[in-house]
Structure 1
Amino acid sequence: MSYCTAIGSMQPAERKALHQQYHDHYYGFPLHDDNELFCRLVLEINQAGLSWETILKKEQGFRKAYSNFDIRKVAAYTEADRERLLNDAGIIRNKLKVNAAIENAKTILALQKEFGSFEKWISHHHPLSKEAWIKLFKKTFKFTGGEIVNEFLMSTGYLPGAHAATCPVYKQVLQQKPMWTVTTKRS
């Protein structure tokens, strides 16, 4: 069952509304803001081993804890910040995931310096097969396994599959011209 159809049968209403909001307004839509791309990467990393619902419920806690995903601020976090994050019940308190967020922010700063933005770095490599994307992300970032990379790229419009073709949101996503609809490398 696809995410699109699963939402229809979710209960209670609060749970359904939480997923519906993400599905209808965020999932699969292209992102062009580096901080929001970083946000999605951090959220996908934190979802590993947990339900997406858990992450959606904690999104505001993540935003508060990680300086609204300001890449420069997170990259400058100190050991005291790591300890603060590990004691913050509003997020997932996993040392590997906390460390990955901070180290990945530093990596993104380097990519921004070289490519102009995180988005341009991703676009520079487009299109790749799912397997090639996974290999690239594993080489570049911390805590990025196959499902994390797949969901990150699908949720940000670089890989297809976020919505069923019969889903009304699918047409809205297509109007935004996600990168998966572009088959050649940009120059």
Structure 2
Amino acid sequence: MNNENSALKICRCSWLDTSKPDYVKYHDEEWGVPVYDDQKLFEYLTLESAQAGLSWYTILKRRDGYRTAFDNFDVNIVATYDQNKVEALLQDVSIIRHRAKINAAINNAQCFIDIQKEFGSFSAYMWQFVNNKTIVNSWHTGDNSPATSPESDAWCKDLKQRGFKFVGPTICYAHMQACGMVNDHNIDCYKRSQIINEYQQI
């Protein structure tokens, strides 16, 4: 009984719909946790781009479908997709069937590889925009975190100059939040301090 009561008292971000177990799992295990693995970063970037104009939960529900459709986000495979593959993806009901977004994912894979060649990894390139350290914000319950920041604006501009598509400032900021470049958990959310304590040396 004590464990149950303790679980009920866990404080999470006010924006989270706790009636959706998969959403809670994403919040508790992924959102805001620093990511340095290029394959995971390509997955997040592709999914954030697919989200444009939609809710994140709409994409989250389809993530397994995306993983299957996009060869588990192997950037080297996605970069080789041709128009026959695009047509096949447009028939795949497990993803958002949007031609421009699918073409953008292929284009972005190619640009992603170019960055890996230049910087050694996409992670090394990406994290430089926050000086290789998580920006920790202090939002109270009910506060609305911004949709962009000077850092996301700068990164967005650079990505576009490198040929990326569907990477506006809002998408870039959402990616930064998801990958832990920014810690935007509410100040009373248990995950905020947990991330700070675990990654304070990074």
TM-score (norm 2): 0.79
CA, structure 1 residues 93+118, in 2 after alignment: closer, same or farther (shift >3 Å)? same
1:157 to 180, 184, 194: 180
SS at match of 2:34: coil
Q: How does 1:1-187 map to 2 (within 5 A)?
A: 4-7=13-16, 10-11=18-19, 16-127=20-131, 129-140=151-162, 141-161=164-184, 163-177=185-199
CA, structure 1 residues 28+144, in 2 after alignment: closer, same or farther (shift >3 Å)? same
What is the CA-CA distance between 1:102 and the residue it aligns to?
Answer: 0.5
Q: Residues of 2 paired with 1:32 and 1:10: CA distance?
A: 28
What is the CA-CA distance between 1:125 and the residue it aligns to?
Answer: 3.6
8 Å CA contact retained: 2:47, 2:59 = yes
8 Å CA contact retained: 2:101, 2:166 = yes
Q: Residues of 2 paired with 1:101 and 1:151: CA distance?
A: 17
The alignment-based identity, stated in percent, is: 39
Q: Residues of 1 paired with 2:161 and 2:78: CA distance?
A: 21
Looking at secondary structure, tell me which structure has more helix per residue.
1
SS at match of 2:100: helix
Q: Residues of 2 paired with 1:154 and 1:84: CA distance?
A: 32
8 Å CA contact retained: 1:137, 1:149 = no
What is the CA-CA distance between 1:166 and the residue it aligns to?
Answer: 1.0
Q: Residues of 1 paired with 2:106 and 2:160: CA distance?
A: 16
Alpha-carbon RMSD = 1.9
Q: Residues of 2 paired with 1:26 and 1:6: CA distance?
A: 15
SS at match of 1:164: coil
What is the CA-CA distance between 1:134 and the residue it aligns to?
Answer: 2.5
Q: Residues of 1 paired with 2:158 and 2:104: CA distance?
A: 16
8 Å CA contact retained: 1:58, 1:90 = yes
Q: Residues of 2 paired with 1:21 and 1:46: CA distance?
A: 21
Unaligned runs of 5+ in 1: 183-187
Q: Residues of 1 paired with 2:76 and 2:152: CA distance?
A: 29
8 Å CA contact retained: 2:31, 2:178 = yes
8 Å CA contact retained: 1:85, 1:93 = yes
What's 1:185 paired with?
A: none
Bigger-Rg structure (1/2):
2
The one-letter code of the counterpart of 1:135 is K
